[in-house]
Amino acid sequence: MDDNCLKNTDRELWREKEKDFYSSSIHVTKQGEIGINVDGCVIVKPIQDWHKCQCQLKLQIDVAMGAKSIAAQLQGENEQLMKALALTKSMICCGESFTKESRDMVEQALKEPKLCICCEEITEENAHIHRNCGK
């Protein structure tokens, strides 16, 4: 045996394609670290680091999902505000004065985003309101 040769002490645990040394694989080193080979790039870490890496990834995913949920909530609130603004603009454009009833309609638009801001019966007097909401 040549003195310059090194003996491979890694213990292979799994290989994607048997006897294909270019395929993805998982091995354990002599020091007990886990190596993962994908497309010729091998990363070797102690098991604690692999676990920490997965925990950090999970945390990042949880944060991203939370941010997505907050963004959806903010979009819903923005839609509420836009409906209330459209209702207010339509009242101003048509020269209507703000009454308690019209204020209540705006407040309802802000409280109930899933309901149409003009869920009352369409009449000639309020048809301009429905024009703005698409009814």
In the Cβ-directed half-sphere of 79, how many Cα atoms lie within 13 Å?
13
Task: Please state, in angstroms and rounded to a whole number, the distance separating the CA atoms of residues 119 and 134.
Answer: 12
Q: Shortest CA distance to 78 belongs to which of 70, 67, 90? A: 70
Q: What is the pTM of this model?
A: 0.45
Instruction: Calculate the average pLDDT of the chain.
Output: 77
pLDDT in tens, 81-101: 777 777 777 666 665 666 677
pLDDT of residue 43: 94
